[in-house]
């Protein structure tokens, strides 16, 4: 029997407007606007994308820079609304989209754990109960009272991943952030993703490391210039992608 659908993406189009002039000031902007000299080129970051992710699937999004991967993750997480179409997620989502998202750079790591937790909707008591686990996983015991702005990108990624995965979300979304971690931490993250998978968490991950996609994912969505090139079995599509 087929597993239930956890993410249902239907005919999603995302249009961004790009001004065709480089306008240097607000004044110039209004002058050009008045003179009808300002034209906007519309640009499709995603163009009619449809696919479904089922419970327990680990989906890898692949494609060249600018192909629309991060935009797709933001739409699934509800951070952006598509211009057309719909993306529905069934269940709780932990999105790990941008480095430092959900953190306040001036606050310490300790404070940011609570801040990020409240953004994800967890109570203070709950965060108290998982605090040690987050610190252990991120291995940042000695840096808890230092402002995040003094953290390296790898340290921020450790903290973000530790918080995002301390609860078992129905859907875990990870955009590229693992790439900044060292190989030991990447191994640790892969191990945790596998644990979540065995508990039937659905995972959607973006990575430029095809090896990582091949080792973690069962499904792959290949995007090019906002369009779906292929969707299906991970190994077969990775092979094609490498030879493209
Ligand atoms: N807020 C925005 N406003 C205008 N254009 C945007 C915006 N966000 C993304 N874009 C454009 O949409 C396209 C797709 O961007 P996206 O970040 O989704 O690509 P990506 O596949 O994640 O690329 P990368 O591999 O470099 O991370 C790019 O051309 C980008 O410039
Ligand atoms: Mg991206």
Condensed to tens digits (0 to 9), the pLDDT of residues 149-175 reads 999 999 999 999 999 888 888 999 999
Judge whether 241 and 210 are in contact, CB under 8 Å: yes
CATH number at residue 77: 3.40.50.300
Helices (H) and strands (E) in the chain, counts: 8, 9
What distance in Å separates the CA atoms of residue 172 and residue 76, rounded to the nearest whole number? Answer: 11
Question: Burial of 65 by CB count in 10 Å (0-12 exposed, 13-18 middle, 19+ buried)?
Answer: exposed
Task: Give the pLDDT score at 121.
Answer: 85
Quickly state the pLDDT bin for 22 (edges 50, 70, 90).
Answer: low
- Global pTM reads 0.87
Q: Using one digit for the tens of pLDDT, what is the confidence trace for 99-141?
A: 777 899 999 999 999 998 888 888 999 999 999 999 999 999 9
DSSP H or E stretch at residue 72: helix 69-77
Mean pLDDT estimate for the chain: 91
Six-digit token string for 224: 């090019």
Q: Ligand 1: does its nearest atom lie under 6 Å from the Cβ of 69?
A: yes
- Choose the residue to mutate in 14, 18, 66 for probing ligand 1, maximizing ligand atoms within 8 Å of C-beta: 66
CA of 115 to the centre of ligand 2 (A): 25
**Which domain, by its residues, includes 151?**
5-243
- CA end-to-end span of the chain, whole Å? 34
Task: Give the pLDDT score at 60.
Answer: 97
pLDDT surpasses 80 at 234: yes
Quickly state the pLDDT bin for 244 (edges 50, 70, 90).
Answer: confident
What distance in Å separates the CA atoms of residue 149 and residue 195, rounded to the nearest whole number? Answer: 31
Q: Ligand 1: does its nearest atom lie under 6 Å from the Cβ of 68?
A: yes
Q: Ligand 1: does its nearest atom lie under 6 Å from the Cβ of 65?
A: yes
pLDDT surpasses 70 at 19: no
Q: What's the number of domains the chain is made of? A: 1
Task: Give the pLDDT score at 29.
Answer: 78
């Amino acid at each position: 029997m087929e597993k239930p659908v956890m993410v249902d993406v239907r005919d999603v189009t995302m249009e961004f407007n790009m001004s065709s002039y480089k306008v240097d000031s607000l004044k110039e902007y209004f002058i050009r606007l008045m003179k009808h000299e300002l034209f906007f080129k519309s640009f499709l970051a995603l163009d009619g994308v449809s696919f479904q992710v089922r419970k327990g699937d680990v989906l890898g999004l692949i494609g060249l820079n600018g192909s629309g991967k991060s935009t797709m993750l933001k739409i699934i997480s509800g951070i952006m609304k598509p211009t057309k179409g719909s993306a529905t997620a069934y269940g709780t989502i932990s999105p790990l989209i941008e480095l430092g998202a959900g953190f306040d750079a001036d606050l310490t790591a300790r404070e940011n754990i609570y801040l990020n937790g409240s953004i994800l909707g967890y109570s203070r008591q709950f965060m108290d109960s998982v605090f040690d686990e987050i610190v252990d996983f991120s291995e940042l015991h000695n840096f808890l009272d230092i402002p995040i702005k003094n953290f390296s990108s790898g340290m921020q990624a450790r903290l973000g991943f530790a918080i995002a995965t301390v609860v078992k979300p129905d859907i875990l979304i990870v955009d590229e952030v693992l790439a900044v971690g060292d190989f030991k931490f990447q191994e640790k993250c892969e191990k945790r993703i596998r644990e979540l998978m065995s508990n039937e968490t659905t995972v959607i991950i973006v990575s430029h490391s095809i090896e990582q996609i091949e080792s973690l994912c069962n499904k792959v969505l290949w995007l090019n210039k906002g369009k779906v090139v292929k969707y299906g079995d991970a190994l077969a599509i990775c092979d094609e992608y490498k030879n493209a």
